[in-house]
Amino acid sequence: MLGIFLDTETNGLNPQKHKIIEMAFQIIDLTTGGCKDFFESVIAISPEDWQKSDLKSLEVNGLNWQMVHQGLPSQLVAQQIQDCFAKNQITRGKAVFICQNPSFDRAFFSCLIDPELQEALLFPYHWLDLASMYWVEAIRQAKMGLGLFPWETGCSKDTIAKVYSLASEQHPHRAMNGVLHLLLCYKAIVGFPMNLR
């Protein structure tokens, strides 16, 4: 089974109004933890879409107009993602998406690659979230008296990292930084079976 550890950066929080401006992912063998492939791109948007940007979002991700203006066209990025998935045989039943916030990432991903096309290409259907993984493990540990319940610690990625004595995500929150931090947290919470032996 493969995991597509994915993060997006956008110019706002509303997929009906804002655009994805950066995407990164790593395709990881969930048994060994080995990286099979990766992708990272800044995505160009129109000046009109840039004008709709939420300044708080841009402050978080550190992207500016010059960087975005020099990004790749969204159609090219979409095709590169499809090519990467085909090369790595990413299909439903053989891979899952893993994100910090899949409801957010999936909404913007679906603006880049239409859901009907995703369906036709048999893209993975399951989008798993780190917080739920942490939630279950934290409750299991707390019931054994080995830690706090997740509602006592919080479930943000940086909070989860702190619980496991890991570093916080690098700032600004660029997409590949998010992917690397997501992987670090996943390894601490879930791990990779071949690395546990």
Cross-strand pairs, 92: 95
Predicted local distance difference test score (pLDDT) of residue 194:
86
| pLDDT greater than 70 at residue 197 | no
Q: pLDDT grade, residue 13 (50/70/90)? A: very high
Per the listing, tokens 């010059």 go with: 66
What pTM did the predictor assign?
Answer: 0.95
Q: Tell me, what's the pLDDT at 50?
A: 99
DSSP assignments along 27-39, one per residue? EEETTT--EEEEE
Q: Residues 73-124: pLDDT tens digits?
A: 999 999 999 999 999 999 999 999 999 999 999 999 999 999 999 999 999 9
Ordered by start, the domain boundaries in the chain are 2-190
Long-range contact set of residues 161-170: C-beta below 8 Å, sequence gap at least 24: 161/185, 161/188, 163/134, 163/138, 164/188, 164/189
Specify the CATH architecture of the domain 2-190: 2-Layer Sandwich (3.30)
Give me 3's structure tokens.
Answer: 């995991």
Q: pLDDT category, 196, cuts 50, 70, 90? A: low
